[in-house]
Structure 1
Amino acid sequence: MTDTSDPRQPTDIAEASQWRLMWLRFKKHKVALISLYIVLLFYVVAAFSEFFQTFDPEETSRRDVFHPPQAIQFFDLSKDGQRKFRPHFLGMTLTRDPETLATSYAVNPDEKIYIRLLGKSEPYELMGFIPMQTRLIAAVNEDERFYLFGADRLGRDMFSRTIAGTRISMSIGLVGVALSLVLGTLIGGLAGYLGGWFDAISTRAIELILSMPTIPIWLGLSATIPPTIDPLLRYFGITVILSLIGWTELARVVRGRFLALRTEDFVTAARLDGASPRRVVFRHMMPSLMSHIIASVSLAIPAMILAETSLSFLGLGLLPPTISWGVLLQESQNIRSIAQAPWLFVPGFFVMFAVLALNFLGDGLRDAADPYSQDPT
């Protein structure tokens, strides 16, 4: 009889699930871990974009056309000459050259716009149904305006419009990938599990779609959507168009994995035990693919975001009054914007940061899901 009190005998056995092992490997990938926090921040901003906006993104101001960005000043002199922490912006005055009639903005040090965190603003609805009057950053005087990212040709605040565009651009990637996930796993799984004529037809269809140039297909399909259609319906239409092209890569991955798994011992044992095809697929085969599917999905989201941005930039995707990063970049298609208002390119930097973070996150998930990959250093 074994003496369990002997210290030389193992008493505890550490066990870890597949997801636990995947998380442990993922944490070693520092860049991917940082990217995860950045992506979460983007989606928090997208979910509660009204709270992070400084003003109504559709509010115009004729006297603030192409207003340049203002730098925040953290300290101010009190009446007794001491420096105190009082965040504010210096006002700007619109001037016009008497000879060329060109307009420009000059800093007015006598005008100060004080701001505060969690300040009171005009009423709005958070997420479209929660009435609120508190914003993350607000002017002490509700009548004053400030421009972190400048203003566009109609005097609309670019910071608020960029934050509002985060919801559309980031959500269209999730919705599009969700539809692609359903199509890819369903068609690829059936092709790999059943084989035969269904596998031959679906494989030829996947190869045909992959052989076509992507951008012309997107342009052709998006041109079929009437420009006068409701913005919400156009949003879902563009999402469906992106999903019709984006499911093929995932279907190929799922098909290849199913072809390899259907001859494994545990799948054969489940069949001999009388398990139905549905139980074999969803209870035994699909869990083995979840980590790979998650990695593929995380890499597909940035492609969806870039596709929507490209279509909207060319005027064939989302259209005003819908606000997305691609729609905002339409403002920078003329020489006047490039010369007078370079801050209109700010949404492009948001696209770049979001795509890079999602790509790094996808690389980290892919490495964590692959047990044969080397640990990141």
Structure 2
Amino acid sequence: MNQSVSLPPAGAPLPHFVAEGVFDPQQADKLTKAQERVYLASQLTLMWWKFRKHRLALASGIFLILLYASILISEFLAPYNYQTRHTDFIRTPPQSVHLFHEGQFIGPFTYGLNATLDMSNLKRNYSENTQQIFPVRFFCRGDSYRFWGLFEGNLHLVCPSEGGTLFLLGTDRLGRDMLSRIIFGARISLTIGLIGIAVSFTLGIVIGGLAGYYGGLFDLLVQRTIEVVQSLPTIPLWLALSAIMPPSWSPILVYFGITVILGLMDWTGLARAVRSKLLSLREDDYVVAAQLMGAGTPRVVFRHLVPGFMSHLIASATIAIPSMILGETALSFLGLGLRPPITSWGVMLNEAQNINIVVLYPWLILPVVPVIAVILAFNFLGDGLRDAADPYR
């Protein structure tokens, strides 16, 4: 399989055509297989070799790939439909899955639940009824749903037996399964960052690229605009922009409205980075050559200049996406972002605003766990990509 390849040790003599900076294809047969693999590798291959040495970044990348792949089949992965209410099991604590009953192996199953009401604090208390055993089923028929809103289905990866319950992360104030809502909420919270970054990158690259390429008065106006936007407090501005959205808008329109707001507020940092790069590159010989050959401004900027620092843009994207996920979570938590019946991690955390509720039902704050995990994964991935793309490392 793949053999470990490393560069020659420090001080070791290089082939004369490599040491002199001139590659002669006719001399390639003088390279060993290991040297040939290194010296003839493409830039992307070299970046991949460096990136896979960053174990934490590699693990974070795999985690994010699996997470984004899961949103394609959220309906199948969730035990219940995210809108299904179990009125007899309101604010149920997380259930345990058992394998053995009285020393006998049965397989994954849950016990039945007995509910009592504590009149001192009006809290429902649940206890396991060990006389009722409900095996956990796999690849089973359960709650019906519309897959991506297109066609009906009821196939689930896992679901309880008839008459049983499977609340692995508990239920909320309406008796809805928390795990199912977190799985469905991932589709909104994760994609809002991707769409928002598309808006942000389009504005940042276009405006920053033109400012860096032309300079002069246009550059001055862009810089002053960026300074004004960056001087505005972020959270109050988000609140003001989200508050002007009509309450009659459908959840889908609100969703796209939030993504546009997040994109409009995040382009300034990227625009400055693109401007500074283009200011340093626009006088290079290959840019002058392209201009002399008759290439127009869009071709020079987007065909010749932007690819020169694409690695920086990729690293910037992995850092910007978490900020947009946090922005949507903050707006929804404050009640000014996405609204029911649509669900996201921020909408779910909106129910955990009351500290008294959190003390009595701590599992209601569980949606913050995937938020933290995704933010950390994106940051670790960004560190790995930045190190892999850095030509000076």
TM-score, normalised by the number of residues in structure 1: 0.91
Please report the RMSD computed on the Cα atoms of aligned residues, expressed in angstroms.
2.2
Partners of 2:297 and 2:90 in 1: how far apart?
Answer: 64
Aligned equivalent of 1:18, options 31, 36, 43: 43
Aligned residue number for residue 356 of structure 1? 376
AA of the residue aligned to 1:177: I
Aligned equivalent of 2:116, options 53, 71, 95: 95
Cα deviation, 1:144-165, whole Å, max 9, x if unaligned, reads 3220110111111111111111
In the TM superposition, what are the counterparts of 1:1-377 in structure 2 within 5 Å?
9-10=30-31, 13-14=36-37, 15-76=40-101, 82-84=104-106, 86-97=107-118, 102-141=123-162, 143-373=163-393
- Identity across aligned pairs (percent)? 48
DSSP 3-state at the match of 2:301: helix
Partners of 2:99 and 2:105 within 8 A in 1: no
Partners of 1:269 and 1:363 in 2: how far apart?
Answer: 35
AA of the residue aligned to 1:192: G
Change (3 A) 1:299 1:102: closer
Partners of 2:125 and 2:143 in 1: how far apart?
Answer: 29
Give, in angstroms, the shift of residue 11 of structure 1.
Answer: 7.7
Cα deviation, 1:153-202, whole Å, max 9, x if unaligned, reads 11111111111110000010000001001000000111111111111111
Deviates more, 1:307-316 or 1:264-273: 264-273
Give, in angstroms, the shift of residue 339 of structure 1.
Answer: 2.4
Give, in angstroms, the shift of residue 6 of structure 1.
Answer: 11
Partners of 1:314 and 1:330 within 8 A in 2: yes
DSSP 3-state at the match of 2:366: helix
Give, in angstroms, the shift of residue 100 of structure 1.
Answer: 6.9
In structure 1, runs of 5+ residues without a counterpart are none
Give, in angstroms, the shift of residue 276 of structure 1.
Answer: 2.5
Cα deviation, 1:4-30, whole Å, max 9, x if unaligned, reads 999983387442222222222111111
Aligned residue number for residue 10 of structure 2? none
AA of the residue aligned to 1:36: G
Change (3 A) 1:104 1:370: same
Partners of 1:53 and 1:160 within 8 A in 2: yes
Partners of 1:119 and 1:140 within 8 A in 2: no
Cα deviation, 1:47-82, whole Å, max 9, x if unaligned, reads 2211111101111122111111101113346xxx74
**Taking CA–CA contacts closer than 8 Å with sequence separation of 6 or more, which of the two structures ends up with the larger relative contact order?**
1
DSSP 3-state at the match of 1:57: coil
Partners of 2:121 and 2:217 in 1: how far apart?
Answer: 74
AA of the residue aligned to 1:41: L
- Alignment coverage as a number of residue pairs: 365
In structure 2, runs of 5+ residues without a counterpart are 1-24
Cα deviation, 1:325-375, whole Å, max 9, x if unaligned, reads 0100011112442122110001011111111111111111111111123xx
Give, in angstroms, the shift of residue 253 of structure 1.
Answer: 1.0
AA of the residue aligned to 1:211: S
Partners of 1:121 and 1:135 within 8 A in 2: yes
AA of the residue aligned to 1:93: N
Partners of 1:102 and 1:10 in 2: how far apart?
Answer: 76
DSSP 3-state at the match of 2:132: strand
Partners of 1:241 and 1:7 in 2: how far apart?
Answer: 54
Change (3 A) 1:356 1:94: same
Change (3 A) 1:61 1:24: same
DSSP 3-state at the match of 2:79: coil
Partners of 1:66 and 1:341 within 8 A in 2: yes
Partners of 1:315 and 1:71 in 2: how far apart?
Answer: 32
Cα deviation, 1:109-146, whole Å, max 9, x if unaligned, reads 111221132222233232222443321112243x4322
AA of the residue aligned to 1:104: N
Cα deviation, 1:221-251, whole Å, max 9, x if unaligned, reads 1111123321111111111111111011111
Deviates more, 1:129-138 or 1:313-322: 129-138
